Amino acid sequence: GIHVAKKVDKLGMRSSDTAQIFFEDVRVPCKNLIGEEGKGFTYQMLQFQEERLWGVATVLTPMETIIQETVDYTRQRKVFGQPVLHNQTVHFRLAELATEVELLRSLLHRAVALYVEGNDVTKFASMAKLKAGRLTREVTDSCLQFWGGMGFTNEVLVSRFYRDLRLMSIGAGTDETMLSIICKHMDTLPGK
């Protein structure tokens, strides 16, 4: 019955094993059945809002960490006799990124509060996930740039986050899927 294929060699999240699992002629006793037979996909779809909110929550600290590490690094790294952080463009960009992270945190808090009250948070969870996916790319790319060549090595955290956090825009529904869901909840699709 159960066959596990070889481990998938992924771009990021390399510490998490991923493989296909195949079930052939597997029988599940009725006492071990969870929910109704044939409803597995529906159950999976229902939990997506929680998964998306969890995903947003898990990227906030890494983004804050990489911004702070970039502040620290650019404060001590000197170019033309001045710390890189003294360049107004660098300083302002890091302040802007920190602001965006706080805005995402506020959206997450609102969505979670509505969820706890029993509301349908599909639109807000999708908005938060969309923003988180795009912001993780923006934060890691911007910060990596300020690290210069050192950021392109495996020795620093920014390169790992650049690689690993990219999954946020793909896992649990792509950015484009989030946009479709948001549109449906805004009644902006053609023909509605």
Tell me the residue range of the domain where 27 lies: 2-32
Residue 37 domain-assigned?
Answer: no
Query: Residue 189: how many CA atoms within 13 Å on its side-chain side?
Result: 9
Residue 38 domain-assigned?
Answer: no
Contacts 24+ apart (CB under 8 A), 152-156: 156/69
Report which secondary-structure segment, H or E, holds 183.
Answer: helix 175-186
Residue 172 domain-assigned?
Answer: yes
Residue 154 domain-assigned?
Answer: yes
- What pLDDT score was predicted for residue 107? 98
- What pLDDT score was predicted for residue 133? 98
Q: What percent of the chain clears pLDDT 90, i.e. is strictly above it?
A: 76
- What pLDDT score was predicted for residue 10? 80
> Which amino acids are annotated catalytic?
51
| 140, pLDDT greater than 90 | yes
- What pLDDT score was predicted for residue 190? 57
- What pLDDT score was predicted for residue 11? 80
pLDDT tens per residue across span 42-101: 888 888 999 999 999 999 999 999 999 999 999 999 999 999 999 999 999 999 999 999
Same domain as 99, residue 11: no
- Which of 95, 86, 77 minimizes the C-alpha distance to 150? 77
Same domain as 145, residue 102: yes
The mean pLDDT value for 140-155 works out to: 96
Say what angle helices 122-147 and 48-76 make with each other, to 10 degrees: 20
Same domain as 68, residue 7: no
- What pLDDT score was predicted for residue 192? 53
The count of domains in the chain is 2
Q: 94, 70 in Cβ contact below 8 A?
A: yes
- Greatest mean pLDDT among 8-12, 27-31, 180-184 lies in 180-184
- What pLDDT score was predicted for residue 28? 85
Residue 107 domain-assigned?
Answer: yes
Same domain as 50, residue 125: yes
Angle at 75 between CA 160 and CA 166, to 5 degrees: 20
How far apart CA 55 and CA 172 sit, in angstroms, is 9
